[in-house]
Amino acid sequence: MPVKVISTENKPIKLWLQDIDDAALEQAKNIANLPFAFRHVAIMPDAHVGFGMPIGGVLATHEAVVPNAVGVDIGCGMCALRTELPSLHKADLKVIHQRIKALIPVGFDHHETKQDENLMPEMDTGMKIVSQEYESALYQIGTLGGGNHFVEIQQGSDGHIWIMIHSGSRNIGYKVAEYYNQKAIELNQKYYSVIKKEWQLAFLPMNTDHFKNYLLEMQFCVDFALANRKLMMERVKQAFSETLGKISFDRFINIAHNYARWEHHFGHNVIVHRKGATSAKAGETGIIPGSQGTKSYIVEGLGNPESFQSCSHGAGRVFGRKEAQRQLSLKKEIENLDRQGILHSICDVEDLDEAPSAYKDIDLVMENQKDLVRILAELKPLAVLKG
């Protein structure tokens, strides 16, 4: 059951964590007071402040969709792949790590040539923003992006080397999110919505074309984000094969954590928004990453109805990006990672926003969601490529 329940708002707020920062709690109260919010709001144990809705928030709605409750990196998520390898020699790990760097553009970089169009999701007529961004997306598919996106090679407690990738829909997802959030703002202003503008929770009513088109274009971005991760995974497999010869891979897992979709909960069909939260239906395999200095987890969902069958998407941040750069010690963070023998991505102060100490204690996060998932395998980081 939730660690804490707040009952002061129009809908209860059920939290799977003891401590939540004031800004994120205020956002949770805002979504709990939306007139179309359904039953209660669920806040996952990795929750921290976002735009409009907390990262780690789950919101179910009646007949309305909120673009900012999905976020700008639509379809962002994780994929993981198990290799047949029981271990990796350090020398081979370094070669593979360097080869991945050469094969996968990171940050604002993209491919110099278009990638195979057959890798792209099918585009429907009426996709206004997707059609505008489609050509650019052909250069961006198979690229990592920046921020907390990563490629990681890991040692599994199941006796296998794993590959994990965290990335999203690149610029096309951002453009779709930006366009439809602006349309929602315009509609809400036109019809004098009771929702305060400063909440950043403008919505699209179900009886509008914008509602239908947003869900259509959003789903394309979810599918594109998966295609993006799949292509990067092929490039990582190439790096392994070029270094070690032919090896086998199995158990590909994919899970998104920024999207909205129709689901059935508590006897009603509702739109479940997950922003930095993942689906955890009974028996569903999921991925919960830690940081580049801590374990990640392959999990199985327990289908808890109180969380709308959801769980955390990671460890969650303790410090904002600029705050981490101000407060954390570059020397200590590097020493910590070097001591563990991890090929990491911390080189200068600007990298401290992705230091392990910028994130919550993953052990506590997992403890707080024992009723949401069970652990199938623990994955220890060996080498990390960050955007």
Nearest to 375 by CA among 314, 255, 286, 254: 286
Pair 383, 93: CB distance under 8 Å: yes
Beta bridge partners of 288: 297
Contact 30, 199 (CB under 8 A): yes
Strand-pair partners of 155: 161, 380
Q: How far apart are CA 339 and CA 173, in angstroms?
A: 38
Q: Which residues in 10-48 are b (16+ Cβ under 10 Å) and which e? A: ebbbbbbbeebeeebbebbbbbbbbebbbbbbbbbbbbb
Residues with Cβ within 8 Å of 29's Cβ and at least 6 positions away in sequence, in order, are: 6, 8, 9, 13
Determine which helix (DSSP H) or strand (DSSP E) holds 77, and give its type and residue range: strand 77-83
One of 40, 160, 313, 344 is an active-site residue; which one?
313
User: CB neighbours of 98 closer than 8 A, spacing ≥ 6?
Assistant: none
Q: Can 313 be counted among the known catalytic residues?
A: yes
Kindly give the interhelix angle for 170-190 and 209-244, rounded to the nearest 10 degrees.
160
Residues annotated as catalytic (active site), given as ranges: 313
